[in-house]
Structure 1
Amino acid sequence: MTFLPILTPWLFWTLSLLLIAAAAYLLVKGRSAARWRYALVVLLVVLAGARPGFAGAPAPVASTDLNVFFVVDMTPSSAAEDFNGAAPRLEGMKADILALANEFAGARFSLISFDSKAKVVLPLTSDATALATLTEILTPSSALVSQGSSISVANKLLAQRLAAARTSHPERPRLVYYLGDGEQTAAASPEPFTATAKLTDGGAVLGYGTTDGGKMRDYTFGSDKPGAYIPDKANDFKPALSVIDEPALQTIAGALKVPYVHRTSTEGLGSALSKAAPTAASTAESPAGMDNGAGRWEIYWLLALAAFGILLWEVGDLTRSWRALQRPAMRGKP
């Protein structure tokens, strides 16, 4: 539980101590039901004015206040032709990035791609045109030089960029959209997204591909000149198939505490948005939303309501007492 007083903290707590001291003094001078009610009202009003609350509630945040990070799988499997029928997965990723950018118009965007290594394609910028341009020219990495990739290879770089964004603009929520198929081809196990999760305020993991798998063309010579299908050396050089690994993607989503959405077409992106609403920006120095009150479950109104109820009781008690005093006077009149 945290407190956000309605006045400057030193002034609020000074006045609160004076009010509590006055209530205590009256109780010491003589205890009565009325004075106990007065003391309780003072205590409730002071607590309500302190605005107690708990972190974690969703808070509406303007798009212009958001930092949105796209982490895109550029391994050869992103060329697998099983998105929305027989389109390459990367085409679906590109369409979703552009759709999300349109939904978050005015936000700042960053684009990070990964294959065997991760790199920043676009640093944080409010230039949506730059994002669209760089997204359109994304191309799967070459199968000829691929040495296996990890689905967590972008983890450290992403954590660094998130930390830098938090330092420069701690008030801005940071959304992470991870787009990939979850296929782990590196020998080592994926590393946990622990550090990244602490810096993430929302987003989603978007999965692409099917359980039947898709054949992959080689893009060694560029996006405009896709080559032959990548062969599977262990299967008589027939076209290799890439299969989505949804449990792996769900593990990433669970670590980041964001929803997982399986994308099979460019339609229905609303589910990735409706479940990915950010809480207020989290910082290492203070719990989520403590700077401005957003992202908190406020309970001051319960205390204020209780104080109001006691005051109504007091007004009713005074009214009954006044009427009782009026009755003898009325009887004495001719």
Structure 2
Amino acid sequence: MNGLTLSPALGWPLGAAIAVAMAVLAVLTAVMHVKHRLRSDETLAACIRRTVLCLLVAVMALTPSIAAPTALRAVNTTDVVLAVDVTGSMAVEDAGYESAGGISRIDAAKQAVDGIAAAYPNSSFAALRFGVSGTLDVPLTPDTLAIRSWADTLSVEPTSLSTGSRLDAPIDQLLLTAKSIRAEHPQDAIVLYLITDGEQTSTKARRTYSSLRQYFDDAFTVGVGSTQGGKIPQTGTTPGASHEQSQWVMDPSTGQPGISAMNEKNLKDIADELSGRSVILSQGQSVASHVSDKVSRRWRVSDDAKRRERVTPIVWPFAIAAAALLTWELGAWIVMSRRSL
């Protein structure tokens, strides 16, 4: 059911201040007329006109609006696909993001996802994780809360399931996802963010990402971790299980804890294959400054399962009345000026 509400276009602090000031001015106008009516040439009509004009401005400052429930929302035609590495090396605590340092790579990836979601307001997102294989967790949705919630649940895959880091693991799922988005929204701008440490430990040669180039308008490889690297903690037998920091993944060739380091070359090579850019995250840096310049300027209206309230301002009747009173005031001033000559 529709309802009348107040929704100041200038915000409540400024809108309320203007409304109060104009209301006080209206009262003063009436009081001064009554107090000085015998010594002033102001007519009663002029007093009423000026008082009403002040009150109209006060009402417009508070912006009367009609609130109505709706399931429709305007969505920017930019689609952002997020692919996050969840291999065991992402548990290494040598990453940084903004003010945080010495955090795990997966935690830096989570913060990067949150930053990307904030950098593309009103856009749509799809999210997948990759380790042993690529898995689409969140199909394309304009719900940024769903993407942030997904990022919060990200954890590295168990050590027992690991078969070595394969940077080409998400290619097949990315192809399916991007092809589906392009078929459904052929005019959209599709941007890819591949968040990984760039490490490739599999003995198999990595497949090229160039097959994705036909579907993505822009792409970023986002590197987390450090080139110095760190020891890889063992993770539990189930995804998301905690790990003991005293237990490390051992290097069978040396019998010592294995060292995982971010590989900047792999990140740059993949970015080149995608005709995109490589971004290396560290303490003091974020993804906020790495927003695609191919963001769409177009919008579409889509249905949303989440019902929301649409607020429609109805200021125009008050504006017409105020304009009429101002015209009247101007005419009265011109007549009065000519009489004074």
- Range class of TM-score, shorter chain: 0.5 to 0.7
Q: Does 1:106 align with 2:122?
A: yes
Partner residue, 1:65: 77
Whole-angstrom distance in 1 between the partners of 2:112 and 2:286? 10
Q: Secondary structure at the match of 2:83?
A: strand
Query: Residue 205 of structure 1: CA displacement?
Result: 0.8
Shift >4 Å, 4+ stretches = none
Q: Is the 8 Å Cα contact of residues 215 and 240 (structure 1) preserved in structure 2?
A: yes
1:226 aligned to 226, 243, 246, which one? 243
Q: Does 1:258 align with 2:276?
A: yes
Q: Does 1:122 align with 2:134?
A: no
Q: Deviations over 1:25-78 (max 9, x none)?
A: xxxxxxxxxxxxxxxxxxxxxxxxxxxxxxxxxxxxx97211100011111011
Q: Is the 8 Å Cα contact of residues 73 and 180 (structure 1) preserved in structure 2?
A: yes
Partner residue, 1:306: none
Q: Does 1:86 align with 2:70?
A: no
Q: Is the 8 Å Cα contact of residues 112 and 286 (structure 2) preserved in structure 1?
A: no
- Choose between structure 1 and 2: higher helix proportion: 1
Whole-angstrom distance in 1 between the partners of 2:259 and 2:230? 5
Q: Does 1:190 align with 2:206?
A: yes
Partner residue, 1:10: none
Whole-angstrom distance in 2 between the partners of 1:128 and 1:73? 20
Whole-angstrom distance in 2 between the partners of 1:253 and 1:266? 23
Whole-angstrom distance in 2 between the partners of 1:135 and 1:262? 19
What is the RMSD computed on CA atoms of the aligned residues? 2.1
Partner residue, 1:76: 88
Query: Residue 193 of structure 1: CA displacement?
Result: 1.2
Q: Is the 8 Å Cα contact of residues 82 and 127 (structure 2) preserved in structure 1?
A: yes
Query: Residue 183 of structure 1: CA displacement?
Result: 0.8
What does residue range 1-334 of structure 1 map to in structure 2 within 5 Å? 64-84=76-96, 85-221=101-237, 222-223=239-240, 225-227=242-244, 228-236=247-255, 238-265=256-283, 267-273=285-291, 276-278=292-294
Query: Residue 97 of structure 1: CA displacement?
Result: 0.5
Q: Which amino acid aligns with 1:102?
A: A
Query: Residue 169 of structure 1: CA displacement?
Result: 0.6
Q: Percent identity?
A: 23
Query: Residue 98 of structure 1: CA displacement?
Result: 0.5
Distance 1:63 1:128, change over 3 A: same
Q: Deviations over 1:162-203 (max 9, x none)?
A: 111011011110000000011112111111112201111113
- Choose between structure 1 and 2: higher strand proportion: 2
Q: Is the 8 Å Cα contact of residues 78 and 295 (structure 2) preserved in structure 1?
A: no
Q: In the comparison of the two structures, how many residue pairs are matched? A: 218
Q: Secondary structure at the match of 1:130?
A: helix
Query: Residue 115 of structure 1: CA displacement?
Result: 0.7
Q: Deviations over 1:207-250 (max 9, x none)?
A: 112121112222225546223222223222x3221011111110
Structure 1: 5+ residue stretches without partners: 1-61, 282-288, 290-334
Query: Residue 279 of structure 1: CA displacement?
Result: 6.2
Q: Deviations over 1:132-158 (max 9, x none)?
A: 111111110111221123101111210
TM-score using structure 2 length = 0.60
TM-score using structure 1 length = 0.61
